[in-house]
Amino acid sequence: MKTDLQAEDYDALGAFRYAMRKFLRFSKVVLADSAKLTPEQYEALLAIKTRSDSTGITVGELSERLQVKHHTAVSLLDKLATRKLITRERASEDRRQVHTKLTRLGDSVLARLAAIHRRELRHRTSEMIEALRRLQK
């Protein structure tokens, strides 16, 4: 496999990864310090909020959204349920399906964390966009 990458391509890739790393480090610290959540738990809350219909999101849909195995999604949900951030309910028509929704507490925690993350992303957006623009050339 032949590559035609130039030094500036490597530099742009590195710059983008560096910007992402800084944001992800920030996120990990904020989640741990202010909510005692892991990044994966936060991502699960986001997926539940944004991908749920009126019945909620299924474990399979969450697994796909987070790009994790089914049992990993179940484990994340177990931890969130223990903290009363989500509820789970079996579907009436197909008992194998479990639908998950945010609780009021989960919605409140997510809203607070999402606002912090949005502020930080707005702060870092130009750095990330510039690196992506360099990669488009």
Structure confidence at residue 136 (pLDDT) = 87
Q: CATH class for domain 7-136? A: mainly alpha
Q: What is the C-alpha separation between 57 and 47, in angstroms, rounded?
A: 8
Query: What is the per-residue pLDDT across 20-53, written as a single tens digit (0 to 9) for each?
Result: 999 999 999 999 999 999 999 999 999 999 987 7
Q: Give how far Cα 82 sits from Cα of 6, 54, 76, 79, Å.
A: 50, 22, 10, 5
Residue ranges of domains in the chain: 7-136
- The three state secondary structure string of 24-89 is HHHHHHHHHHHHCCCHHHHHHHHHHHHHCECCEEEHHHHHHHHCCCHHHHHHHHHHHHHCCCEEEE
Through-space distance between the first and last CA atoms of the chain, rounded to whole angstroms = 21
Structure confidence at residue 1 (pLDDT) = 57
Query: What is the per-residue pLDDT across 69-121, written as a single tens digit (0 to 9) for each?
Result: 999 999 999 999 999 999 998 877 776 788 999 999 999 999 999 999 999 99
Structure confidence at residue 93 (pLDDT) = 76
